[in-house]
Amino acid sequence: MNKILLLPYSFKRIGWVLFIPTALLGLLMAIDGFNGFPSFLLPDSVAASETLSRISNNVVLIGLLLGALLITCSRERIEDELITRIRLNALLAALYVTIGIALFAALFLYGFAYLYFMIFNLCLLPVLFLVIERVMLWRLGKEAADEE
């Protein structure tokens, strides 16, 4: 059988520690209109500088991507053929959805809206893969618990 190169299980915890705060910060930045660090989190006397905006954008992007990578590419506690199959199916489903959304956006978005979408699309595949894989593993665990 071919060996699949996965990270150790302990990396999954590091991935969650990176992913959750940067996803929340990214959500706050999206609510604020992608103007860098969310202005409603800063005191009135402090204005968001261009440097703070660039740093916060990079922190969110790198944190999301690295966190999703560590979570999805780490072994499960029990890694067997079924988990491997679920991982592959989740990756294919995420790829199909991402390509479909990108095609839709290419047809209907122009200008800065398309640029913003492409930034969003950069993180879409790993995050979507993470969500689909976690849902499929949750269903598997629920089915196993129901059988007992």
The residue-averaged pLDDT of 120-143 equals 88
The pLDDT of residue 96 is 93
- Distance, in Å, from the CA atom of 123 to the CA atom of 90, rounded to the nearest integer, reads 16
pLDDT in tens, 47-83: 556 677 777 778 888 998 899 889 988 888 887 888 8
Alpha-carbon dihedral sign for residues 6, 26, 132, 114? negative
Contact 127, 60 (CB under 8 A): no
- Of the pLDDT bands very low, low, confident and very high (cuts 50, 70, 90), residue 46 is low
**Does pLDDT of 36 surpass 80?**
no
CB atoms within 10 A of CB 31: 10
Burial of residue 43 (number of CB atoms within 10 Å: 0-12, 13-18, 19+): exposed
